[in-house]
Amino acid sequence: MKGSEQLFKKAQRYIPGGVNSPVRAFRAVGGTPLFIQRAQGARIWDVDDNEYIDYVASWGPMILGHAHPQVVQALQRAVERGTSYGAPTALEVELAALIVEAIPSVESVRMVNSGTEAVMSAIRLARGWTKRDKVIKFEGCYHGHSDGLLVKAGSGATTFGQPDSPGVPADYARNTLLAPFNDLDAVTGLVKDNPGQIACIVVEPVAGNMGVITPQEGFLEGLRKVCDQEGICLIFDEVITGFRVGWSGAQGLYGVTPDLTCLGKIIGGGLPVGAFGGRREIMENLAPAGGVYQAGTLAGNPLAMTAGIETLKLLKEAGVYEHLEEKAAYLCTEAEKVAHSSKTSTYCTRVGSMFCTFFTPGPVVDYDSAKQSDIDAFRRYFWALLKGGIYVAPSQFEAGFLSLAHTDEDIEKTLAALHGAFQAAS
């Protein structure tokens, strides 16, 4: 790792913490982060030319694998036509049409540049539509780094709206109310205590930022019912799950329809992108059709639109998600057997091709139960896997992702490495 160590040392001179997104710094596992120089299919290579089977997948978007030939060729053609116009293009219309076709709850969609921007804008739109200010979010669900969503977990935050980051005004954060994930009673209690004040409930339908935590039976349905009864806008943050757990996202998988949906990651094919969309009567409140303002110079960027279009075209082909499901089910089932044989205390979760191994006997249903995980065990597990040529997220509280590029050979090599990794963790 000599090259990565040298680059990290240099990076810390010019970049806060040496990275441009905090989890990349490896603080949760210790040591020096890998600096990556290239990727192909299911594999990445660091600057020292070490090769790894990749289950980070750029935190989810590389569902086709890295540098898919069809995406690369389309991008090469697009670059020759220019990288940004600041004007409408046919590409924006084509990608928007694909999203509307795939996700029945989305009748109209606005392109933005990131998942953070998508959720921030959707909440502003919900507030403009409902003429209300307060937002309910769930402890441990991450919706980007906009001020109103960086609120400390726990009873203190629920009561006082204490921000979780310096620089976030307490007065602003007071409009954000917290409930535990999967706790419908807590939600109804907040609604009762704040009558006529809740603009929206924002939720990851599958929590993907505290590991992978699935919605318990009736939870999402209950949120829909509460929102219908109280005139509240239901926002699904499907930045991770959109086109990852199925063609119609988590809402298609669980059969619950939100009012607004936030997307990112896969719809840009690995390029920076975000989007939010929903019912036309709500979306028409957005400028220039309505008075709720939102804008972005690079929104609908032709390169991101091109990569997204090619990616969604490939995902639309028959049998794609069934193939992903089959491979992911095999990997996770066999991994559980390995963990059990090594007598390692774990709790494994999976939805489609996203998965997590918690180092706790479980069950894991919310942020508090996720925090019971043995972080030191995960750290030993992470470094043992890396030594075996397997790259997973450097944090217990992140998801793993399988791609269409992972071969049977890749999966078998991963399972072989897991034997030593679970033994190191135990």
Contacts of 215 (CB under 8 A, 6+ apart): 182, 205, 206, 254
pLDDT computed for residue 116 by the predictor: 95
Average pLDDT over residues 143-151: 82
* 267-282 residue pLDDT tens: 999 999 999 999 999 9
pLDDT, residue 158, reads 30
Q: Identify the pLDDT of residue 46.
A: 98
The residue extents of the domains of the chain are 2-67+319-425, 69-315
CB–CB of 284/129 below 8 Å?
A: no
Question: What confidence tens digit (pLDDT) does each residue in 4-51 have?
Answer: 999 999 999 999 999 999 899 999 999 999 999 999 999 999 999 999
Cβ atoms 158, 177 nearer than 8 A: yes
Residue 157 has pLDDT above 50, yes or no: no
Q: In this structure, what token pair is assigned to residue 134? A: 């307060």
pLDDT: is 309 or 149 the higher one? 309
Mean pLDDT along residues 314-332? 98
Active site residue 265: yes
Determine which of 73-82, 137-146, 157-166, 341-350 has the lowest per-residue pLDDT on average. Answer: 157-166
Position 160 pLDDT exceeds 80: no
| Cα-only R_g, the chain | 21
2-67+319-425: CATH number: 3.90.1150.10
In the predicted structure, residue 171 carries a pLDDT above the cut 90: no
- Residue 404's SS3 state is coil
d(CA 197, CA 355): 36
Q: What percent of the chain has pLDDT over 90?
A: 91
CATH architecture of 69-315: 3-Layer(aba) Sandwich (3.40)
Q: In the chain, count of helices (H) and strands (E)?
A: 15, 14
pLDDT of 156 > 80? The answer is: no
| pLDDT for residue 123 is more than 80 | yes
Helices 320-341 and 302-315 pack at an angle, to 10 degrees, of: 80
The DSSP-derived string for 177-204 is EEEETT-HHHHHHHHHHSTTTEEEEEE-
Query: How much is the pLDDT for 163?
Result: 57
Would you give the distance in Å from CA 222 to the centre of its chain?
A: 23
- Rounded to 5°, the CA angle 146-151-220 comes to 90
Strands 108-112 and 400-401: unpaired
pLDDT tier at 367, thresholds 50, 70, 90: very high
Burial class (CB within 10 angstroms; exposed 0-12, middle 13-18, buried 19+) of 49: exposed
Distances (CA, A) of 421 to 26, 28, 176, 204, 319: 18, 17, 40, 30, 33
245 is written with which tokens?
């757990």
Catalytic residue among 254, 265, 366, 410: 265
The question of whether 142 is a catalytic residue gets the answer yes
DSSP-assigned letter for residue 398: S
pLDDT the model gives residue 150: 74
In tens, the pLDDT along 46-100 reads 999 999 999 999 999 999 999 999 999 999 999 999 999 999 999 999 999 999 9
Catalytic: which of 142, 321, 347, 381? 142
Q: What's the chain's average pLDDT?
A: 94
What global pTM score does this model have? 0.95
List C-alpha distances in Å: 399 to 32, 258, 417.
21, 23, 19
CA distance 174 to 298: 32
Assess whether pLDDT exceeds 80 at residue 162: no
**Would 2-67+319-425 and 69-315 be classified into the same CATH topology?**
no
Catalytic option among 54, 237, 259, 374: 237
- Give catalytic status of residue 408 as yes or no: no
